[in-house]
Amino acid sequence: MGKTKKVPQINGTSSADIAFMLLLFFLLTTSMDTDTGLARRLPQPPDKSRQLEENDIKVNKRNILQVMINSSNQVLCAGDYIDIRMLRERTKSFLLNEMRDEHLPEYEDKDVPFFGTVNTITDKHVISLQNDRGTSYQAYIDVQNELVAAYNEIRNEVSRRKWGKVFDDLDEEQQSAVQMIYPQKISEAEPKNYGEK
């Protein structure tokens, strides 16, 4: 009788180590999409012990630009349904009020570094944005982008006139001065159910 050969067994103790190293390799080398949000500074929560003062509720209507988005993603700006592509120009007209329209923001003098005394719209202006609960996220983002783009374009114009470069290329003190002239004031209200047009 001949001898039967035994097949050597494979050592399986390192298999777990190899699997762990492969898993670690794929986790470290794979890029994952991350959701990005809007850069917004939220107001402080109200102090419940403090009563509302008159200044908290008195806002001149001419200093408010109301922008609403309904559940059909239609944009209502200052009482008119408009195409979203018109929103940036409507916002710029509100912020500049070049014709000194009595229905648009009032003017005030501000002492601004690098500029001296500047006569521009009041710091009390606000763009009030409200959307319907049925508004799509993309429509909300598109409206936000147009509002912020209006501020950016105006700041770029001021920066070019003063320093010959766009706002993002200015140093921190110069940017702060331009922001004093045109502070970004976008107020977001809690979504409501407006329904469709």
- pLDDT tens by residue, 146-192: 999 999 999 999 999 999 999 999 999 999 999 999 999 999 877 77
Are the C-beta atoms of residues 65 and 184 closer than 8 Å to each other? no
pTM (whole model) above 0.85: no
Does residue 103 register a pLDDT over 50? yes
The domain of 152 spans 62-188
The answer as to whether 56 is a domain residue is no
The answer as to whether 54 is a domain residue is no
Contacts of 88 (CB under 8 A, 6+ apart): 146, 147, 149, 150, 153
The answer as to whether 179 is a domain residue is yes
The answer as to whether 21 is a domain residue is no
The answer as to whether 33 is a domain residue is no
Does residue 102 register a pLDDT over 50? yes
pLDDT score recorded for residue 8: 73
Q: Residues, the chain, total?
A: 197
What are the distances in angstroms from CA 102 to CA 62, 121, 162, 175, 186?
7, 12, 28, 29, 21
Helix, strand, coil shares of the chain as percentages rounded to 5?
A: 40, 20, 45
Confidence grade of residue 47 (pLDDT, cut at 50, 70, 90): low
The answer as to whether 25 is a domain residue is no
Q: What one-character DSSP code corresponds to residue 45?
A: P
> Cα dihedral sign for 173, 177, 180, 185?
negative
Over residues 169-178, the pLDDT tens digits come to 999 999 999 9
The answer as to whether 104 is a domain residue is yes
The answer as to whether 126 is a domain residue is yes
pLDDT score recorded for residue 17: 82
Q: Which of 21-35, 48-62, 86-100, 177-191 shows the lowest mean pLDDT across its residues?
A: 48-62
